[in-house]
Structure 1
Amino acid sequence: MTRAVLSIGSNMGDRLAHLRSAVAGFAPELVAVSPVYETAPWGVTDQDDFLNAVLIVEGPPGPWDWLRRGQELENASGRVRTLRWGPRTLDVDVVSVDDVRSDDPSLLLPHPGAHERATVLVPWLDVDPDAVLPGHGRVADLVAALDLTGVERRDDLSLS
């Protein structure tokens, strides 16, 4: 059994429906689903705001299986990869899988940059207050060090 943290996000089309499709796609293995957050884009800032959430899943799949399933859901949502950090219908990132470390360019674990991204850490902290990001420490400590400008919890939106 593996336990994985998956970050999901969308800023194109029906953003909430895209996030719900990811929740449905991982439903058999879901342990927790965070609240939805609206966040300002980073990297390429000339785009619409994102809706983001975190899923915690457990099951027999290994790291590569979580990645493959996430990519299948992205493809099903019509995601087209044209611009790094650009707009997307659905983004599913494997943030961590147990304490697995991977330097494979196709699946870097833990996800690079996760330790400084409010889009990942804030919703993760909501569903796992004791969470630890391998190699970086307690998620609560990482969140405390972040500028949370542009991060808004959307209690009016639900993924269930």
Structure 2
Amino acid sequence: MNVPVAHDVYIALGSNMGDRAGYLEAARKKIAESGIRLTAVSGIYETAPVGYTEQPAFLNQVCRACTALEPQSLLETLQRIETALARRRIVHWGPRTIDLDLLLYDDLHMQTETLTLPHPRMFERAFVLVPLRDVWPAAEIAGKPPAEWIASCADKNGVRPYAPPSKK
């Protein structure tokens, strides 16, 4: 009997359109419905946009998960979830209902036309590294703990815990 191999993966979630927290929640639900088992979920952080800055603030989060999917199949699953949640790729780094990035897949290093692992820009982005530290505090990525990577990020002061608006 073949037992599927469980791979340890980290997925970044981001949203800056509409009900941002609702989109993060819907994405987590769809990830779980896709047979990807969430094992840890970070806090939610509000962050200023990076790259294209003329857009609303983002909510960001990182999930640790286990999956039997191979990297390319996992990426395709995440892209289908983005499409199901009305993701439109109109402006590079522009506003989006949901953005799902595969950050890490076991200890795999790979580069194809559609997927690079580890995610090539994660080491420059505090909005990814701060929530990653929540779900993997003892991490050492490319020889450094997340705190060292965060200290060198240009956006390190723009990441703050998200406080949902109070309901009246």
TM norm structure 1: 0.91
Aligned-residue sequence identity (percent) comes to 40
The answer for unaligned runs of 5 or more in structure 1 is none
The answer for unaligned runs of 5 or more in structure 2 is 1-5
Tell me whether 1:2 sits opposite 2:10 in the alignment.
no
Aligned to 1:33: 41
Alpha-carbon shift at residue 132 of structure 1 (Å): 2.6
Judging by fraction of residues, say which structure has more strand: 1
RMSD: 1.5
Aligned to 1:146: 153
CA contact (8 A) 2:31 2:81 kept: no
CA displacement 1:14-38 (0-9 Å, x = unmatched) = 1111100111122251010000000
Aligned to 1:56: 64
Counterparts of 2:66 and 2:140 in 1: how far apart (Å)?
16
Alpha-carbon shift at residue 127 of structure 1 (Å): 1.5
Larger radius of gyration: 2
Alpha-carbon shift at residue 140 of structure 1 (Å): 2.5
Aligned to 2:29: 24
Tell me whether 1:95 sits opposite 2:103 in the alignment.
yes
TM norm structure 2: 0.87
Give the 5 Å matches for 1:68-147: 68-133=76-141, 135=142, 137-147=144-154
Alpha-carbon shift at residue 44 of structure 1 (Å): 0.2
The total of aligned residue pairs comes to: 156
